[in-house]
A and B are shown apart, each in its own frame.
Chain A
Amino acid sequence: VSARTLPATRPLNKERKWVGKSIRRIEDPKFLRGRGNYIDDLRVDGMLHAALVRSPYPHATIKNIDAEEARSVPGVVAVVTGAEALELADPLPDFGPAPEKHTWRCLAAEKVRYVGEGVAAVVATSRYVAEDAADLVTVEYEQLPPVVDPEQALEPGAPLIHEPLQSNVAYERVFTFGDVDRDFAEADVVVADTGDDEDNLVVVLLSKKKSKARCIARVNNPANKTIFESLDPDDPVTVISSTELILDVLNEHVNASKYRSMLETMHLFGKGNMQLVKVAIPAQSPIADKTIAELNLPHNSVVVAIDRPDRDLEIPNGDTRLRAGDSMIVIVKNGAAERIRTLLTTP
Chain B
Amino acid sequence: MNVPIELTVNGVRHQAEVEPRMLLVDFLRERLNLSSVHIGCEHGVCGTCTVQMDGKCIRSCITFTPQANGSEVTTAEALADGPQLHPLQDAFWEKQALQCGYCTPGMLMVCEELLRDNPRPSAEEVRERISSNLCRCTGYQFIIEAVMHAAAHYGEGPAAQIAEVTR
Contact = CB atoms under 8 A, between A and B. Distances in A.
A104 interface: no
Nearest to B35: A41
Give chain B's interface secondary structure class: loop
Contacts of A24: 93-94
Interface in A29-45: 29-38, 40-41
Interface in A1-60: 22, 24-25, 28-38, 40-41
A290 interface: no
Interface in B18-41: 19, 21-22, 26, 29, 34-39
Given A28-B101, A29-B85, A41-B35, A34 B75 contact: yes
B38 A38 contact: yes
A128 interface: yes
Contact of A31 (B39, B77, B101): B101
Contacts of A31: 98, 100-101, 104
A151 to B, nearest CB: 28
B69 to A, nearest CB: 19
B101 to A, nearest CB: 3
A128 B19 contact: yes
Contacts of A29: 85, 89, 93
A55 B85 CA distance: 45
A127 interface: yes
B96 interface: yes
A38 B102 contact: yes
B80 interface: yes
Contacts of A34: 34-37, 75-77, 104-105
B132 to A, nearest CB: 18
Contact of B36 (A28, A35, A128): A35
Given A32-B104, A34-B37, A35-B35, 12 more contacts: A24-B94, A25-B93, A29-B85, A32-B85, A32-B98, A33-B77, A34-B35, A34-B76, A34-B105, A35-B36, A36-B101, A40-B39
Interface of A: 22, 24-25, 28-38, 40-41, 127-128
